Structure 1
């Protein structure tokens, strides 16, 4: 995987490619991709939004991560706030960098790209902590986040329009630097 580099990307311009990666990695259908494409393009224009891609030598996107300073007025924050508040963790909504999406194409998983993407993305933030949500089950993603210092702030979080439950996780920044890929 030495031919894969992580670099900042123009999320708005590369949103269709990013959603192709997410569709394969997360099992999304065409209708859901179309809805998410509009959301990603809107997020790309928000203050402080940053995106990084895992790119092959020919520029093909095989992974991406994006996020922004958290804003309590954003939809995601309004959904998770009651769960965090119930656990005494609502302060995590302030002065936090939100990792909005992180996906790696299955062919490129397991070699450290997810770790490199999230540490590079959060490493650009001057904020003291990071928050994210992940499916509330024991997945490789949850294992990755825990290995980076994320801990559960709330579990069994219900987002509208999905039967899946999510965990909201938080970690102090900076995250530990990743070892060289493949090490």
Structure 2
């Protein structure tokens, strides 16, 4: 990952883990609405998440929502290699670097 992608200031990035919907509820737009509601409440420049490469449905959804792959990582001890994705929210920080209120 480039230095610019990995640069962090404590406010720049929101980390999202384990956004999931039970199989019987999939295909109804629930995950998309949850994701949209969560992002609407954020005051960050971007969202970072890890997704298992075998999770094709999740990867396809994230791509359709604008996420792009920026690298790979093992998110915890014993985990498989995951794709690291970023979604740029287009929200520039304030001049002092603090999040907008």
Give the alignment's TM-score, normalised by structure 1.
Answer: 0.43
CA distance in 1, matches of 2:55, 2:42: 28
1:139 matched to which residue of 2?
56
| Aligned residue among 114, 124, 145 for 2:31 | 114
1:101 matched to which residue of 2?
18
* Greater strand fraction, Structure 1 or Structure 2: 1
Stretches of structure 2 lacking an aligned partner (at least 5 in a row): 91-101
CA distance in 1, matches of 2:88, 2:50: 15
Q: CA RMSD in A?
A: 1.6
> Does 2:79 correspond to 1:171?
no
- How far off its partner does 1:173 sit? 1.6
* Greater helix fraction, Structure 1 or Structure 2: 1
Structure number, greater radius of gyration? 1
> Does 2:11 correspond to 1:125?
no
Residue 19 of structure 2 aligns to a residue in which SS? strand
Q: Which gives a bigger RCO, structure 1 or 2 (Cα 8 Å, sep 6+)?
A: 2
CA distance in 1, matches of 2:40, 2:18: 15
Give the alignment's TM-score, normalised by structure 2.
Answer: 0.75
Q: Which runs of 4+ in 1 moved over 2 A?
A: none
Residue 17 of structure 2 aligns to a residue in which SS? strand
2:99 matched to which residue of 1?
none
Residue 41 of structure 2 aligns to a residue in which SS? coil
Stretches of structure 1 lacking an aligned partner (at least 5 in a row): 1-86, 175-183
Residue 102 of structure 1 aligns to a residue in which SS? coil
The question of whether the paired residues in 2 share the 8 Å contact of 1:97 and 1:122 is answered with: no
